Each structure stands twice: as structure tokens, then as C-alpha cells.
Amino acid sequence: MPTPDSPVPLPSADELVERSHVVALPLVTRFRGITVREAVLLEGPEGWSEFSPFVEYADPEASSWLAAAVEDGWSRGPEPLRDFVPVNATVPAVHADEVPAVLARYDGTTTVKVKVAERGQSLSDDVARVAAVRAALGDGGMIRVDANGGWAVDEAVAALRALEPFGLQYAEQPCAGVDELAALRVRLDGRVAVAADESIRRAADPERVVAAGAADVIVIKAQPLGGARRAIALVERLGLPAVVSSAIDTSVGLSLGARLAAALPGQQLACGLGTASLLAADVTADPLRARGGAVAVRRVVPDAELLARHAAAPERTRWWRERLRRCAGLLAARTDVG
């Protein structure tokens, strides 16, 4: 059996498929352009794990998500340093009137991440949404905005000036490129902190963010980075405060994120691991949702009845298992895993 510090042998594609359960979970509201979240759950010898790259991601990128699933299900992983992880609420790009209902799904969270720069919406929509969050939170809560790289530098400066009066902890990936983030940080002159997300998890050279002075905070996700151990090593190399986030995972995937966050020394910033509250259904009767503003650090075991109830349609199950096989082949050829 591998130790937490040793490479994890890659199971065969046949074994992965045999251990796989493909699910389709409805969302409470449209998020990231989808209303249903599909995922592959794998019953590994060390516990359940999740493989859920977004459908538009190409196989080479998706193979890192499989590396994370294999590491999580076939090894014990890093030892957690704490039993609970504080989390933020996440507000999709909804109308301002819908904000209170979204926040009501999160118990005790005092940090909120608000999606902005949504295609088809305006800055006035963003301002109204953030204002509604501030009104609901009161003066003491923390607000983050996430543009998913949707602004050019000039647009980001104008938008963040308009949003700054509501008190921003940071702006996550306001611009798409590292050079743009660096230029924006200069122009903001410390008034609003900048967090890098896609420039970390989707970059061939995430260290460039630090070299360019492009961020104050980094956002990391266990699946895209290839697993908890690789994510921890990256945080150590970059040396910036880290926020562990999710990709609208099931509670199985969120449990990996919570264990990653709990293994980071000195972790204090609320993490984006409360997104089970955006799911209208889950694979366990005890979802990993925020309670008192935090999620518990634990492995999640799906309920057989819920796996069956939310099983993906046969054609989607075939699609995911074919993808699983392709990514396993790519992973077997890589020299940086296993």
C-alpha cells in the first residue's frame, strides 16, 4: 500500500471503469452555464473519489483531474491539521432580488464570493448584486468577487472602482492573462487585492504568477492540479496565501478539497468548499454543507440508493466511461504522475 509520500500506482482503465458510477445532479440555479452537474465517482480501496472535469475540457487537461481521483481513492493522502475548514458562500450571477434566497442555503458563512462579469450582463447588474450581498451580510462580512477572467484591464479598473465601496477582500481572476493581472495590480495600487485562479490551475507555468507580481492570493483546486499532494507542493513553492476552492463538485469531491485545505499549515482564509449548497441533490444523505460557517474534514461515502436515483442516462454514462478510458491512457503515458 502506498504511503502518503510515495507515488500512487495507476489502476488499469478496466479497473477504473468497473469501479465507476456516473451521476447527474441538478443545480439549484444556473451556474457556469449549466443546470446539471455530471461526475464520475470511483470506489477506490482507500475510499471514494471523484473525476469531474467540465465537459468542454480536452482530455490532456482532464487527465490531471483523473490523477487527483486516483491519488484520493488509492492512497491515504496528507494528514489533516484541523477538523473543520471555514468556507465562503457562493452567489452565482443571479438578479439582486435572488441574493437573500441563495445566502439562506449557507449556514453561518460570513464570507461571500459573488460572480461578476457574466456574459450578457452589465456592470450595473454586478453592482446591484454585490450591494445586495453587502446588505445581507452587514458591515462585518467579507465579500469577494470572481470575474473568471472576464474583464480587460481598463474594464477591471472601472468595475473594481465601482465595487470597492462595498468592501472587497479580493477580486478573483479579474483578467485572463498573467500580464494583465500584473498591470491591474499596479493600477489598483493596493486598494483591492487580486487573486489568481485560472492563471494557477490552467497554466503550464503557475510560478509565473509570482514572478510577474500578478497576485496577492492564489486559488487552488485539488482536481485540476492533479491531487492534494501536488497542490500542497505548489502552495509551498509559490509562497502566497491560498484559498482552496471547488468546481461544483459532489460532496465526494468537496471532501478532497476540505482535506487539502486542512493539510495546509496556517490556513486561515475561508475556502470555496461550500458549493454543495448549490446542488439540488447530492450522492449522500449527509452532504458536505456549511454548518456554522465551516465544513467538516471527513471522507464521504455515497448512499447506494442516491447513486441509483441520480445515475446519468445510459448515453452519458457511456460518454464518461469512454472519457475515463482515454484519460487513463494519457495518464499512463505521463512521467510526472504515478
Q: DSSP strand E in the chain: where?
A: 20-31, 34-44, 47-51, 84-86, 89-91, 111-115, 142-146, 170-172, 194-196, 217-220, 242-244, 294-296
pLDDT at residue 240 is higher than 90: yes
Same domain assignment for residues 253 and 121: yes
In order, the DSSP letters of 234-249 are: HHHHH-S-EEEB-SS-
Q: What is the pLDDT of residue 9?
A: 86
d(CA 250, CA 24): 10
DSSP state of 294: E
Same domain assignment for residues 66 and 106: no
The mean per-residue pLDDT over the stretch 229-254 comes to: 96
Residues 6+ apart with CB under 8 A from 190: none
Annotated binding-site members for Mg(2+): 146, 172, 197
In order, the DSSP letters of 79-125 are: PPS-SEEEB-EEE-S--GGGHHHHHTTSSS--EEEEE---TT--HHH
Same domain assignment for residues 222 and 116: yes
d(CA 220, CA 233): 11
Number of domains in the chain: 2
Same domain assignment for residues 248 and 319: no
pLDDT at residue 267 is higher than 90: no
Q: What is the pLDDT of residue 4?
A: 41
pLDDT at residue 6 is higher than 70: no
> Does some domain include residue 6?
no
> Does some domain include residue 301?
no
101-155 confidence digits (pLDDT tens)? 999 999 999 999 999 999 999 999 999 999 999 999 999 999 999 999 999 999 9
Lowest mean pLDDT among 7-11, 91-95, 203-207, 304-308: 7-11
Contact 310, 281 (CB under 8 A): yes
Which domain covers residue 28, as residue numbers? Answer: 13-77+308-333
pLDDT band at 266 (very low <50, low <70, confident <90, very high): confident
d(CA 260, CA 266): 12
Look over the chain and give the mean of its residue pLDDT values, rounded to a whole number.
95
d(CA 303, CA 236): 36
Same domain assignment for residues 208 and 105: yes
Lowest mean pLDDT among 58-72, 138-152, 324-338: 324-338
40-57 confidence digits (pLDDT tens)? 999 999 999 999 999 999
pTM recorded for the entire structure? 0.94
d(CA 49, CA 67): 11
pLDDT at residue 3 is higher than 50: no
Indicate which residues carry an active-site annotation: 115, 221
**Secondary-structure breakdown of the chain: helix, strand, coil percentages, each rounded to the nearest 5:** 40, 20, 40
> Does some domain include residue 93?
yes
Q: What is the pLDDT of residue 5?
A: 47
Residues linked to residue 42 through DSSP beta bridges, in sequence order: 20, 49
Three-class DSSP category at 301? coil
pLDDT band at 31 (very low <50, low <70, confident <90, very high): confident
> Does some domain include residue 3?
no
* CATH number, domain containing residue 216: 3.20.20.120
